[in-house]
Structure 1
Amino acid sequence: MRRWWRQACRLLGLIVLLMSPLSAAAAVPSAWLQFWSAYQQHFIDPQGRVIDWVEGGITTSEGQSYALFFALVSNEPQTFARILSWTQKNLAQGNLAQNLPIWRWGKQDDGQWGPLSGNHAADSDLWIAYDLLQAGRLWNNEHYTQMGRSLAQQIAAQEILPMKGAGPMLIPGEKYFRFGASLVINPSYLPPFLLASLADALPDGPWREMSKYLPRVIAKTSPHGFSPDWISYSPDRGYFPAPQGVEGRYNAIRVYLWAGMTNPDTPGAKAVLDSLWGMALYMKTHDLPPLQENYQSGLVQGTGPSGFSAALLPFLVQYKMPEAAKVQLARLEAERSPATGLYGYPPVHYYNQNLALFGLGWYNGAYRFSPHGNLRPSWDRLSASPAGFRPVTDPLSRHG
C-alpha cells in the first residue's frame, strides 16, 4: 500500500512541481491568492467574521487573527479593515487598544448571537498585535501601529507570568491554566518570528527575554523531537505532563510550521528547529504526517489531515527533505476540491484550511520573514526572494 501511494504521489508531484519555491516565483502567489479567495468565499462573511461551520457557526479570535494576517499577505487593506472592525466591535468591546479580545463568539443559549466566553486566547492576542504592527509598517498606517503597540502592552501586563528557571511565560487564557505555582503552557502559542518582531518593536517589553528562552522551552518539552499540545511547568518540578494529556496533535502541528517558517538568521531559530528532529526522522520513513505523538515516549498514531501535510512544507524545506515536501504537495493536490478550491475531505474545517494557507503561502513565496521577524510579503519591493532562504545545516546528523 505504501509503495502504491508513493508512486501515485510522485506522479501527482509532476503536476505540482511548478509550485516549488525554486521555480518561477512571480507566478506562484496567484495560485495562493486563488486559494485565499476561495477561503474568503467559504468562511468569511461580508462583515469580516470568520465562521467555523463545523462548530455550529462560531467565531474565534484565532480565526480572526489568522484572517488579518492573510489579508496583509495578499495586500488587501479593505479586507483587513473589515475583519479588524468586526473583531473590535464584537470581541473587544469596540476597542482593541484598551481591551483584550474574547476568544469565542456565537449563538447563545437564548438564541441570540454574542460572546460565548469571557476568556482570552493569548496566542490569538499576540497574532492580532503582530498583524497590526506589521500592517502599520507595510501600509504606513500609524493608527494600526499604535493599536498594535497598545494591545501588545496589554498582553505583557495581563498575560505574561515570570517563571523562575523558564523566563516570562505566556498564560494561554485567563482561566484554567494556573494551578498554584504551576502554569500550563502551549508551545505552539510562541512563533519565534512573532516574538522576535515584538522584541524589535517594543524593546522595553518581555519579548526579547521570551525569545531568548524559547529554544530551551522547545528543547525541554520535546525530549523525543515531538512537541506536545500542552505541558505544565513549575519552578520546583520543571516541565511535566499537563492535565490535558501528553499528546501533540492539532496544536502541536503549528510548532513545526512556525519553526519552518522562521528565518534561519533569527536568533534561536536553528536551535528550535533542531529540537524537533523526531518529526523529521518520522517523515524520512513515512509518506504522511502522524495524527498524534506522545511527547514522553515518542510513540505516534494515525495519519494527520491534509492541513498537517501543508503545515510541514516549510519544516521539510528547512530540513532539506525536498522529496518528502513533494509528497505532501501531491497529497494536497489529490485532496483539493475543484468545486470549492479548498483542501481535505468534507466536512471542510476552517482550521485545516488555515494550516494550508500558512504552509502553501510560505512554500510558494507569497511571504517570508526577516531575521527580526518582520513580514516580507511578495508584493513589498523590499521583500527577500524565496530563493534567498537557505536550509539549516543538516539538523538530523546528530540524531542518527
Structure 2
Amino acid sequence: MLLLLYVPSFCHAQPAWPLWENYNRVIIDQQGRVIDHSAQDRTTSEGQSYAMFFALVANDRARFDKLLHWTEVNLAGGDLTQHLPAWNWGKAPDGSWKVLDAHPASDADLWMAYSLIEAGRLWHDSHYDRLGTALAAQVAQYEAVFIPGFGTTLLPGSSGFHPDDRTWILNPCYLQPSILARLAKIMPNGPWASILSSLTPLLTLGSSVGYAMDWVAVSSNGVHPSITPAQQAAGDTVATPVGGYEAIRVYLWLGIADPDTQNVRSLLVRLPAMATYMSLHPNPPQQVDVQGKVINANGPPGFSAALIPYLQAVGKGSLAREQMERLTSTLNPTNGLYGKSADYYDQNLALFATGWSEGRYRFDREGRLRVKWK
C-alpha cells in the first residue's frame, strides 16, 4: 500500500491512527511506560517524551496523562518542576527495576517540555503549561552552556560532555529547530534563540562533506573555536566519528520543520549528500564516516521513514515516495509495526514521519504545533 504524500486541510475530526494504536499495544504498558524490547526492556526519557508528543498529536489525553504520571514518579522523583528526568530506567543486576542512570538527556527534556506547553494550549489546561515551562527553565539552567568564542548552545546532558577546559562534545540532533523556535517565542529571555543559531555552525563545520554527524566537538581557546566531527561521548568507544543512529534525526527534524523557521532552509542546503546518495541507492546508509564513505549501507526501516520529510523538503518528492514504499513494504501484518523485529527506534521515527506525511500535525514558523483534530 502506498501512502500519498500531501498536505491535507486541517479539520476538527481526528481519524484513527493505526500506527499509534499498534505502538501502544506492543510497546507501551498499562502504566504508561514505553518499553524498549530491543534493549533489555529498558525505558528512556526519550521514549516517554516522544510518546507524549504522539499522544498529543492523536488527541489521546488519557494516555498522555499516564505517560506523564509514570515519568514524573519514576524518572523525576515525583516532581518534574524540580528534577530533570533520569534518562535510563530498567532492570538492575540485583533484579530490581529502577533508575539505572540518573543523568538527564536534554533532547528528551526539551521534547517533554514542548509537549507539555503545547498540551496546555491545545487542551486548555494551565497545569501542563506550568509544568512544561518549569521543565524548560531547568534545561536552560543545567543543560545550556556558553562556550567562549562560540556562544550559547545545548549540552546533551547536565554532565559528562565537557572532557577538558577547552572541549565540549555536542549532538546536533538534540537541537530540534521547531522546539527551540517555540521556546524562543514564549520564553524570550531564555537561551533558546542562541541555541537555535548554534545549530548552523555545528552542521556547517561539524558535518562530513554534506552528511550530518552523530557527535561534534567544539574546542575553544576563548576566541576562535574549532568545530569538528567527534567520536561518541560519555565513555562510549567508537574508532571514528560517524553519522548514523543519532544523525538520522537531523534530517527528520529539518524535514518536519516549517521551512520558514530560522535557518531551516539554509541548513537543508548544507546537507545535500544524503539526497544525492538516495538518488542512486534504494536504501539509506546506516553509517557514513567523515569522508562520506558509507560504512554500512543497510539502514533499517526507520531510516527510510526519517528521510521522507527531508526528501520532500529538498524537492525530491519521487525519492520520498520510494522511501515510503520501502517503509510500507516492511509492515508486519501480525503487529502492525515496521520491520521484522519491530524495533522501538524504528517505530518512533516512523510515527514522526508518517504522522507528518499524513498531515496529522505541522509546526508553524515559530514552532507552534498545529494538529488535525483542533
Give your verdict on TM over 0.5.
yes
| 2:203 equivalent in structure 1 | 218
From 325, 332, 340, the equivalent of 2:327 is 332
Q: Deviations over 1:118-145 (max 9, x none)?
A: 2111111111111111111111111111
| 1:209 equivalent in structure 2 | 194
Q: CA deviation at 1:268?
A: 0.9
Distance 1:115 1:85 in 2: 16
Contact 2:173 2:250 in 1 (8 A): yes
From 274, 279, 286, the equivalent of 2:274 is 279
Q: CA deviation at 1:24?
A: 8.6
| 1:129 equivalent in structure 2 | 113
How many residues align structurally?
362
The amino acid across from 2:227 in the alignment is Y
1:235 aligns with 2:223: no
Q: CA deviation at 1:29?
A: 7.1
User: Quick check: 206-215 or 254-263, which moved more?
Assistant: 206-215
Secondary structure of the corresponding residue to residue 222 of structure 1:
coil
Contact 2:207 2:229 in 1 (8 A): no
Q: Deviations over 1:272-318 (max 9, x none)?
A: 11111111111121122111111x21111322001000000100111
From 156, 175, 179, the equivalent of 1:194 is 179
Secondary structure of the corresponding residue to residue 89 of structure 2:
strand
From 171, 177, 184, the equivalent of 2:169 is 184
Q: Deviations over 1:50-89 (max 9, x none)?
A: 0011111110000000000000000011110110000000
Distance 2:268 2:229 in 1: 22
Contact 1:194 1:373 in 2 (8 A): yes
The amino acid across from 2:2 in the alignment is V
Distance 1:156 1:175 in 2: 14
Secondary structure of the corresponding residue to residue 337 of structure 2:
coil
Secondary structure of the corresponding residue to residue 210 of structure 2:
coil
Q: CA deviation at 1:23?
A: 6.8
| 1:16 equivalent in structure 2 | 2
- Pairing 1:1-400 to 2, within 5 Å after superposition: 15-17=1-3, 19-21=4-6, 30=15, 33-180=17-164, 181-236=166-221, 237-244=225-232, 245-294=240-289, 296-301=290-295, 302-346=297-341, 348-380=342-374
Distance 2:345 2:131 in 1: 26
Distance 2:215 2:272 in 1: 19
Distance 1:142 1:50 in 2: 25
Q: TM-score, normalised by structure 2?
A: 0.93
If each structure's helix is expressed as a fraction of its own residues, which one has the higher value?
1
Alignment RMSD (CA, Å): 1.8
The amino acid across from 1:287 in the alignment is P
Distance 1:23 1:206 in 2: 35
The amino acid across from 1:226 in the alignment is Y
Secondary structure of the corresponding residue to residue 79 of structure 1:
helix
- Consecutive unaligned residues of structure 1, counting only runs of 5 or more, are 1-14, 381-400
Q: TM-score, normalised by structure 1?
A: 0.87
Contact 2:87 2:104 in 1 (8 A): yes
Distance 2:10 2:110 in 1: 30
- Consecutive unaligned residues of structure 2, counting only runs of 5 or more, are 233-239
Contact 1:29 1:364 in 2 (8 A): no
The amino acid across from 1:239 in the alignment is I
Structure 1 pair 28–248 and aligned structure 2 pair: CA distance change class (3 A): farther
Distance 2:202 2:371 in 1: 29
